[in-house]
Homo-oligomer: A and B are copies of this chain.
Amino acid sequence: MGIRIGIVGSGAIGTYYGAKLAHAGSDVHFLMRGDLSEVLRNGIFVRGEGENFRVAPINCYNSTKEIGPCDLVIVAVKATSNSDLVDLVPPLLHEQTMLLTLQNGLGNEEFLANHFGAERVLGGLCFIALNRSSRTKIERYAYGHIVLGEFDRPSQPRTHKVAAEFTRAAVTCTVVDDLALERWRKLIWNIPLNGLSILGGGIDTAAIIGDKDLRQAMLALMDEVIAAAQKCGHPLPSDAWREHVKRTETMGAYKPSTLQDWEAGRPLEIEPIWGEPLRRAVAAGGQMPRTEMIYAVLKKLDHNRAGAKNLTGLTGQVQTSQ
């Protein structure tokens, strides 16, 4: 018997993985709001290397009450909208419902645990680059795999069951026993590259690693993240930066998600990527001086723009977790 899956967050990440699962025959139910009628009419189109399909009809709804209890709820809202989850999630829960956050950075599992119970919570790191080119169209540019784990405990039989659901949908899914360690490992990349892309005036990864001084700042930040992770009890090896540098050197001129958010006029996910790691490092007696500066500057930039901000349409949005 398949499991009943709810998708909360109809940006590119939630829509893409939900569509993949639905296309593979999983029992998927989407919460949609502005997009509802168009998706009901046309379904969802997915295009990427080796994939090109349409899912229709789509089970979509404009309230979670209409969806009702699910076995697995995939949370893919921007972390800046987490407070909405307090009302959105309860109608989706039965006693055994799993909550899987595919959000960026640190603190999202804790948010779900605090509000809905730690035993429900899993987390996934998405390595993917997507472009939502219209309300109903998703283009995938690179990667696609998920690293999946339980919140604050090793993998369980259910973790592998969830992974199998993704695998069946042709999404590579790796199960890990230490999700927190993997979150920190991903931050080695996100903290410097997402941050410097904004501070540098809107520059891509190639511009950062190709500039002598910015590359040095990036490496110093990577060291800082690794030291902070170690201080917080997550034993990343001291050369864990190597794989990231190597990957970045081959990835071309890539715009980190925060830069994409910035260019699209969306609020920045500042707390999970910089604020929460910084607070944890400081609480553990560590220091993240460079991260602290990025954090302060990004908050100010984000805040100053929030006033002048235009509401952006839903088309042309790009969402990635890199």
Q: Give the distance in Å from the alpha carbon of A295 to the alpha carbon of B296 in the complex.
A: 17
Contact digits for A275-296, partner B, Cβ 8 Å, 1 yes 0 no = 0000000000000011011111
Specify which chain B residues have a CB less than 8 angstroms from the CB of A207 in the assembled complex.
300
Give the segment of A2-10, A30-38, A65-73, A209-217 that binds chain B: A209-217
Q: Give the distance in Å from the alpha carbon of A196 to the alpha carbon of B298 in the complex.
A: 11
Please pick, from B220, B292, B294, the residue contacting A292 in the complex, using a CB distance under 8 A.
Answer: B220
Specify which chain B residues have a CB less than 8 angstroms from the CB of A293 in the assembled complex.
199, 217, 220-221, 290, 293-294
Q: Is the CB–CB distance between B213 and A295 below 8 Å?
A: yes
Tell whether A300 pairs with B220 under 8 Å between CB atoms, given A289-B289, A289-B290, A290-B289.
Answer: no
**A297 beta carbon closer than 8 Å to chain B:** yes
Tell whether A301 pairs with B200 under 8 Å between CB atoms, given A290-B289, A293-B293.
Answer: yes
Q: Is the CB–CB distance between B220 and A289 below 8 Å?
A: yes
Q: Give the distance in Å from the alpha carbon of A201 to the alpha carbon of B297 in the complex.
A: 8
Specify which chain B residues have a CB less than 8 angstroms from the CB of A203 in the assembled complex.
300, 304
Q: How far is the CB of A252 from chain B (nearest CB, A)?
A: 19
**A47 beta carbon closer than 8 Å to chain B:** no
Q: How far is the CB of A54 from chain B (nearest CB, A)?
A: 42
**A23 beta carbon closer than 8 Å to chain B:** no
**A145 beta carbon closer than 8 Å to chain B:** no
Tell whether A296 pairs with B216 under 8 Å between CB atoms, given A290-B289, A290-B290.
Answer: yes
Please pick, from B213, B217, B300, the residue contacting A201 in the complex, using a CB distance under 8 A.
Answer: B300
Main SS class of interface, A: helix
Specify which chain B residues have a CB less than 8 angstroms from the CB of A304 in the assembled complex.
200-201, 203
**A299 beta carbon closer than 8 Å to chain B:** yes
Q: Is the CB–CB distance between A299 and B201 below 8 Å?
A: no
Q: Which of A289-322 contact B (CB under 8 A)?
A: 289-290, 292-297, 299-301, 304
Q: Give the distance in Å from the alpha carbon of A304 to the alpha carbon of B203 in the complex.
A: 10
Q: Is the CB–CB distance between A297 and B200 below 8 Å?
A: yes
Residue of chain B at shortest CB distance from A213: B296
Specify which chain B residues have a CB less than 8 angstroms from the CB of A201 in the assembled complex.
300-301, 304
Q: Is the CB–CB distance between B220 and A299 below 8 Å?
A: no
Specify which chain B residues have a CB less than 8 angstroms from the CB of A211 in the assembled complex.
296, 299-300
Q: How far is the CB of A104 from chain B (nearest CB, A)?
A: 20
Q: How far is the CB of A292 from chain B (nearest CB, A)?
A: 6
Q: Give the distance in Å from the alpha carbon of A201 to the alpha carbon of B211 in the complex.
A: 21
Residue of chain B at shortest CB distance from A195: B293
A-B contacts besides A203-B304, A217-B297, 14 pairs, CB < 8 Å: A199-B293, A200-B297, A200-B300, A200-B301, A201-B304, A203-B300, A213-B296, A213-B299, A214-B300, A216-B292, A220-B289, A289-B290, A290-B290, A290-B293
The 4 closest A-B pairs by CB, nearest first: A213-B296, A217-B296, A289-B289, A200-B300
User: What are 5 A-B contacts with C-beta separation under 8 Å?
Assistant: A199-B297, A200-B300, A203-B304, A213-B299, A213-B300
